[in-house]
Amino acid sequence: MPFIPHTEDDVREMLATLGVPSIEALFGEIPAELYCGELELPPALKEMEIARLMRARAQQNRPLLCFAGAGAYEHYIPAAVWAVTGRGEFYSAYTPYQAEASQGTLQVLYEYQSMMAGLTAMDVSNASLYDGATSLAEAVLMAVRTNRKSHSRRILMPKTVHPFYRRVVETIVSSQALELIELPYDIETGCIDPASLETHSDTDVAALVIPQINFFGLLEAVDELTEWAAANGAIAIALVNPMALALLKPPGEWGKTGANIACGEGQPLGIPLSGGGPYFGFMCCRKAHLHQLPGRLVGRTVDAEGKRGFTLTLQAREQHIRRGRATSNICTNQGLMVTAATIYMALLGPEGLRRVALQCHRNTLSLMNGLAAVDGVERVFSGPFFHEAVYRTRKPAREIMDGLAEQGILAGYELARDYPELGEAILVCATETRTEEEIELYVRRVASLLEL
Amino acid sequence: MLIFDRSRRGRAARAQWLPEAGESPVIPDHLLRKSRPSLPEVSELDVVRHYTRLSQQNYSIDTQFYPLGSCTMKYNPKVCHDLANLPEFLNTHPLALERAGQGTLACLYELQEMLREITGMAGVSLACAAGAQGEFAGVLMIRAYHGLRGDSARTEMLVPDAAHGTNPASASMGGFQVREVATGPDGNVDLAALAQAVGPQTAGIMLTNPSTLGVFDQHVQAIADVVHKAGGLLYYDGANLNAIAGKVRPGDMGFDVIHLNLHKTFSTPHGGGGPGAGPVGVNDKLLPYLPLPVVAKDGPRYRMLTEADRPHSIGHLVTFAGNVGVLLRAYVYIRMLGREGLRRVAEFSTLNANYLLKKLVEAGFEPAFPQRLAAHEFIITLKRLAKERHVTALDFAKRLLDYGVHAPTVYFPLLIPECFLIEPTETESKDTLDRFAEVMAAILKEAETDPDRLKSAPHSLSVRRLDEVRAARHPDLAYKAE
Ligand SMILES: Cc1ncc(COP(=O)(O)O)c(C=O)c1O
């Protein structure tokens, strides 16, 4: 019996204490007709056997040299991050309901909130949401709740927001009578044209989503966009890559007054790709909107002797107190991932993080310069990008994807499904983990596929 | 000490610094960051020591008995962690799962199929990130089902008053009015109250069985009949599946849609708050609406179903394929249990709960439902102590910490005053339960002779009782450099 410690004597004594003849008798209140009989499940495996099986499964995954981003990024993760995060005391603890016996988790979360508030230049951060897409959905819902200037339920959602995020937002807000209005992008620059917002200036809008960097890897005119939102009584929701914030102007400093809410995907901060999860979503806001922030919050306080300590706080926003009227239904979040991110940020520090961001930027610049010189390849958009970019080839993108995969390279993400207007376009990313040789290899492989 | 207090200008974990790469040649100045982000400047040893020390201020399953009711804090096998962390799994990009992650998908597909069998449902999606998201997906499916039939009058979701807070919260996020249904004195749903509450406006009912009161609702078939006859659907909150896994299936009880908490029943770790995974299962009625992605097997290859395969799907709820790393852990766990092992989980968690309940009653504690058998967890109430000695369940819980055990869940469900919801789980030995019962008895005695000892607890942890009122009145949620 794996993981059940009872000896035969234990069971006998326990049944005797209970005064029942068998364990079966303890199920006497369940109507007999509900019992299901033998389940069709495979027989039990010993640890060595499951280890063998999983190693074989792992071998069925093909390692590809990663040039894909599109919402999940391969960054180097220092050994110390998971060596400490994986400690049983973090790994096997529950949500810190008993604060005095959970000071480790609580202090980590407080430090995490502090680091995220610093990185985004916002006042406060929550203790995590599920992932980037759900953080945007929660931000949209929060914006509608907080916006006192507008009674509208209209949200301006640029097409330069990750298409996966847009579909999740649609699913999550579908039953709340919100209207998501798609904002087009300028086909030359690949960015939102702030002038295009003028058509919405006479309508009541609850919020504007501002992605920085946008899905194409490009830099949006965040100051103008934030100011448009401020001038039109709309909440400015910044959707940001935390890695980029080591280099780029943080949401709290956009425009004259800064964004109202910042959210996004935390995966770049020390979380492995892992096929799509677990990652974590983050959300930061201004103090004024604190009571509408969804998710757990950790606050600093003192104990009975005046000593500093930490505890979950402002729980009246949450489902276990407010039930049907809570700010969100979230309960379990992504705590362990946030622990890893905190350790990652502490290790890298402001300068280390800036250097990683810059190296990603430089690598993608060098990749795009290489590709631009290849006959049959063109860069799709003109403006500056951070660590992702879009190129178009004279051959079908699918052929490039397949051809490179055959040679062990993940070429990027094909845009045709979500952006047919861009033609045979691929979104590509070279993070700090790619070497010069690998970048040259990528360019050579694309070139030779195009020569065929 | 905070990590920020250890920060010294110019100190760094330099092994993690890449070579200086100069300024960006293309990013315009007005888009660049001018302020230095307030991250600490510390050495690698500072970081390792600081966070290792912090970890030591936690109670956890690996270090303490953790009978937190409704949370199923059982042992998280190390091998699950190890095998989910094989580099080939960790390094697969989510957008390359079909192309390069066939091994991962094989595990996910089999997990889907095993959960289908365990729950008796027609289809399972693994996408939801936690229990609450599974609930929300279920609520949306119920909405879609009525919607597609043009049944727009169904605006109410019934939720028993004992339900977990996420149930009503998910129902209202899904656009329903929540209508509470009372619990009877025996812990079952009050059938008369239910009969009054159902009607043509009923979209469905969200039920937990065994309930959060730690008892199996014997009238579950009657409840199913009443709600189905009224045209509503039945939602099963599977957070308590540990009590019946391998013995009774939600599908056979008449439920149309369910979620499971893999971070409870299937032993994936809770990580100090998450991540979890909340797969959803549905019967034939709701199969078309299942959230995406779902893993399908086409001949020898696995692929992810899309909107093209499932045009009526409620859509996507997370960016990619869900918490894959958590799903792999659950897969390993279920394969190690096999069919026999799964049934034993229910049997031994139930044995442990009933045994511990008996020991506590013998020690003078008052069960909330003395006439009932416990499922995998049970409730005692300390209301007499609160009345006679002014010692609350919270005081008692804090004193338990001094004895090196994590406290049970307190003040939930709300309808039982001064309650402890106690869930020992099957991985704890009789010795641990006996010791816990002794500690409880000792504290009970202290409550009589020295109540202040409890009111001022804990005494032996890194901090004394924390001032939660102050935390809420004067929120300090982020460190600010002086
Ligand atoms: C009975 C019950 N339902 C639902 C949930 C919600 O699950 P999660 O925390 O994974 O969102 C929980 C646990 O927190 C629970 O105990």
B166, B173, B235, B236, best to mutate for ligand 1 pocket (most atoms within 8 Å of CB): B166
- What CATH number should be reported for the domain holding residue A421? 3.90.1150.10
Q: Encode pLDDT of A138-154 as tens digits.
A: 999 999 999 888 888 99
Interface test with B, best of A332, A345, A436 (most B CBs within 10 A): A332
Ligand 1 binding pocket includes A332 (Cβ within 6 Å): yes
CA distance A397 to A415: 9
| Interval A205-218: pLDDT, tens | 999 999 999 999 99
CA–CA distance, B121 with B113 (Å, rounded to integer): 10
> Tell me: the pLDDT tens digits for A387-414?
999 999 999 999 999 999 999 999 999 9
Q: Which residue of A lies nearest to B51 if distances are taken between CA atoms? A: A84
Distance (angstroms) between ligand 1 centre and the Cα of A330 equals: 9
* Domain B346-468 in the same topology as domain B79-336: no
SS3 category, A134: helix
Closest CA to A390 of A380, A375, A382: A380
pLDDT of residue B402: 98
Instruction: Calculate how close chain B gets to A109, using CA atoms only, in Å.
Output: 10
Spatial CA neighbour of A237 closest among A339, A145, A100, A167: A145
Q: Does residue B129 have its Cβ closer than 6 Å to ligand 1?
A: no
Cβ atoms of B213 and B379 closer than 8 Å: yes
Position A118 pLDDT exceeds 80? yes
Query: What CA–CA distance (Å, rounded) separates B155 from B286?
Result: 18
Query: At B73, phi and psi to the nearest 5?
Result: -85, 75
- Asked if residues B192 and B221 have their Cβ atoms less than 8 Å apart, the reply is no
pLDDT in tens, A239-253: 999 999 999 999 999
**Within 10 Å of residue A444's Cβ, how many Cβ atoms?**
13
Report yes or no on A399 lying in a domain: yes
- Which chain B residues are closer than 8 Å to A63 by Cβ? 88, 91, 100
Interface test with B, best of A65, A109, A114 (most B CBs within 10 A): A114
Q: Is residue A280 part of a domain?
A: yes
Asked, for residue A7, whether it belongs to a domain, the answer is no
Q: CATH no. for residue A122? A: 3.40.640.10
Which residues of A are less than 8 Å from B16 in CB distance?
A: 78, 347-348, 352
In this structure, are A264 and A212 located in the same domain?
Answer: yes
Domain boundary among A284, A318, A344: A344
Residues near A132 by beta carbon (within 8 Å), at least 6 away in sequence: A71, A162, A165, A239, A263, A264, A265, A266, A267, A279, A281, B319
What backbone phi and psi angles, to 5 degrees, belong to B259? -130, 155
The residue nearest atom 7 of ligand 1, judged by CA position, is B131
Could A336 and B272 be called an inter-chain contact, meaning their C-beta atoms sit closer than 8 Å?
yes
Partners of A179 in the beta sheet?
Answer: A154
CA distance linking residue B378 with residue B409, whole number of Å: 11
Mean pLDDT of A118-130: 98
Residue B72 beta carbon below 6 angstroms from any ligand 1 atom? no
Structure tokens at B51: 């966070």
pLDDT at B446: 97
Residue A1 has pLDDT above 80, yes or no: no
Please list, residue by residue across A38-70, b when 16 or more beta carbons sit within 10 angstroms of its beta carbon and e when fewer do: ebebeebbebeebbebbeebbebbbebbbbbbb
Report whether A51 contacts B78 (CB < 8 A). no
Burial class (CB in 10 A: 0-12, 13-18, 19+), B261: buried
Q: With an 8 Å Cβ cutoff, are A275 and B89 in contact?
A: yes
Helix (H, G, I), strand (E, B) or coil at B123: strand
Chain A residues with CB under 8 Å of B44 CB are 78, 80, 347
> What is the whole-number distance in angstroms between the Cα of residue A441 and the centre of ligand 1?
49
What is the distance in A from the centroid of ligand 1 to the CA of B162? 13
Q: What is the pLDDT of residue B21?
A: 82
Query: Is residue A268 domain-shared with residue A408, that is, in the same domain?
Result: no
Q: Are residues A202 and A88 in the same domain?
A: yes
How many Cβ atoms are within 10 Å of A174's Cβ, its own excluded? Answer: 17
State how far residue A161 is from chain B, nearest Cα, in angstroms.
Answer: 12
Residues A263, A361, single domain; the answer is no
Domain boundary among A344, A372, A405: A344
Give a yes or no: residue A228 inside a domain: yes
A69 and A193 co-located in one domain: no
At B390, the amino acid letter reads H
Residues of A in contact with B147 (CB under 8 A): none
Note the pLDDT of residue B457.
98
What's at A215, amino acid-wise? F
Q: Are strands A409-410 and A65-66 parallel, antiparallel or unpaired?
A: parallel
**Which of A291, A310, A344 corresponds to the end of one domain?**
A344
pLDDT given for residue B482 in this prediction: 63
* Closest ligand 1 atom number to CA of residue B130: 10
Q: In this structure, are residues B274 and B130 in contact, taking their beta carbons and an 8 Å threshold?
A: yes
Residue type, A141: L
Measured distance CA(B375)–CA(A247) in Å, rounded = 55
Cβ–ligand 1 contact at B166 (below 6 Å): yes
Q: Tell me the CA–centroid distance for residue B239 and ligand 1, in Å.
A: 6
Residues 6+ apart with CB under 8 A from A72: A265, A267, A273, A276, A279, B93, B94, B95, B319, B320
Chain A residues with CB inside 8 Å of B462's CB?
100, 103
Give the span between the Cα atoms of B441 and B450, in whole angstroms: 14
Interface of A with B in 95-124 (CB under 8 A): 95-105, 107-111, 113-115, 117-119, 121, 123-124
B170 lines ligand 1 (CB under 6 A): no
Could you tell me the pTM of the whole model?
Answer: 0.98
Asked if B348 and A4 come within 8 Å (Cβ–Cβ), the reply is yes
Which residues of chain B have a pLDDT value below 70? 482
Directed axis angle between helix B430-449 and helix B393-402, to 10°? 120
B261 in contact with ligand 1, CB cutoff 6 A: yes
Tokens of B350: 């139930």
Q: Residue B239: CB within 6 Å of ligand 1?
A: yes
Closest-CA residue to B231 (of B290, B314, B154, B174): B154
**Chain A, window 5-44: residues with a beta carbon less than 8 angstroms from a chain B beta carbon:** 5-6, 10-11, 13-15, 17-18, 23, 26-31, 34-36, 38-44
DSSP three-state, residue B242: helix
CA distance linking residue A317 with residue B199, whole number of Å:
31
d(CA B167, CA A160): 35
Per-residue model confidence as pLDDT tens digits over B189-206: 999 999 999 999 999 999
Q: Which residues pair with B4 in a beta bridge?
A: none
Is it true that domain B79-336 has CATH number 2.60.210.10?
no
Fold of B346-468: Aspartate Aminotransferase, domain 1 (3.90.1150)
Buried b (16+ CB within 10 A) or exposed e, B159-182: bbbbbbbbbbbbbbbbbbebbbbe
Residue A113 to residues A20, A108, A246, B39, B354, Cα–Cα distance (Å): 52, 9, 16, 11, 42
Domain boundaries, chain B: 1-18+34-51, 79-336, 346-468
Residue A383 within any structural domain of the chain: yes
Chain A residues close to B88, C-beta within 8 Å? 58-59, 61, 63
Burial B390-415 (b: 16+ CB within 10 A, else e): ebbbbbbbbbbbbbebbbbbbbbbee
- Determine which helix (DSSP H) or strand (DSSP E) holds B152, and give its type and residue range: none
Residues A269 and A160 reside in one and the same domain: yes
Residue A202 has pLDDT above 90, yes or no: no
**Tokens 């927001």 -> residue:** A161
Q: Which of B164, B241, B258, B267 to mutate to test the pocket of ligand 1 (most atoms within 8 A of CB)?
A: B164
Where do the H-state alpha helices sit in B203-264?
Answer: 220-229, 250-253
Q: What per-residue confidence (pLDDT) applies to A93?
A: 98
How many structural domains compose chain A? 2
E strand or H helix at A219, and its extent? none
**Residue A24 within a domain:** no
> CA-to-CA distance for B292 and A333, rounded, in angstroms?
20
For B429-473, the DSSP string reads: -HHHHHHHHHHHHHHHHHHHH-HHHHHT---SSSS-SB-HHHHHH
Rounded to the nearest angstrom, the distance between the alpha carbon of A59 and the centre of ligand 1 is: 35
| Minimum Cα–Cα distance from B394: chain A residue | A98
Q: What one-letter code names the amino acid at A116?
A: M
CB B133 within 8 A of CB B278: yes
| Beta-carbon count within 10 A of B331 CB | 31
User: Is residue B336 classed as helix, strand or coil in its secondary structure?
Assistant: helix
DSSP state of B131: H
Cis before residue B210, ω within 30 degrees of 0? yes
- Gap between the Cα atoms of A415 and A123, Å rounded: 36
The complex's ipTM?
0.98
The Cα of A186 is separated from the nearest Cα of chain B by a number of Å equal to 19
3-class secondary structure per residue, A383-426: CCECCEEEEEECCCHHHHHHHHHHCCEECCEECCCCCHHHCCEE
Task: Copy the structure tokens of residue A385.
Answer: 């990008």
User: Are residues A102 and A153 located together in one domain of the fold?
Assistant: yes
Instruction: State the amino acid at position A197 in one-letter form.
Output: L
A63:B91 CB<8 A: yes
Compute the nearest-CA separation of A38 from chain B (Å): 8
Pair (A129, A258) in one structural domain? yes
Secondary structure element (H or E) that encloses residue A296, with its range: none
Same domain, A70 and A126: no
Report whether residue B209 contacts ligand 1, using a CB cutoff of 6 Å.
Answer: no
Domain assignment present for A47: no
Angle between helices A335-372 and B44-55 (to 10 degrees): 150
Same domain, A432 and A401: yes
Which of B276, B338, B351 is facing A43, going by the closest CB pair? B338
Task: For a ligand 1 pocket test, name from B71, B237, B242, B261 the mutation site with the most ligand atoms within 8 angstroms of its C-beta.
Answer: B261
Burial class (CB in 10 A: 0-12, 13-18, 19+), B337: buried
- For A114-128, A318-332, B310-324, which range has the lowest pLDDT when averaged over its residues? A318-332
Window B:172-191, CB contacts with A under 8 Å: 172-175, 178
Which residue of chain B is at minimal alpha-carbon distance from A316?
B472
Asked if B121 contacts B112 with a C-beta cutoff of 8 angstroms, the reply is: no
Q: Domain of residue A417: give its range.
A: 65-74+350-451
Is B283 a pocket residue for ligand 1 (Cβ < 6 Å)? no
For chain A, the C-alpha Rg in angstroms (whole number) is 25
Same structural domain for residues A257 and A129? yes
Q: Of ligand 1's atoms, which has the minimum distance to the CA of residue B208?
A: 1
In this predicted structure, the answer to whether residue A312 has a pLDDT above a threshold of 70 is yes
Region A46-75: mean pLDDT is 98
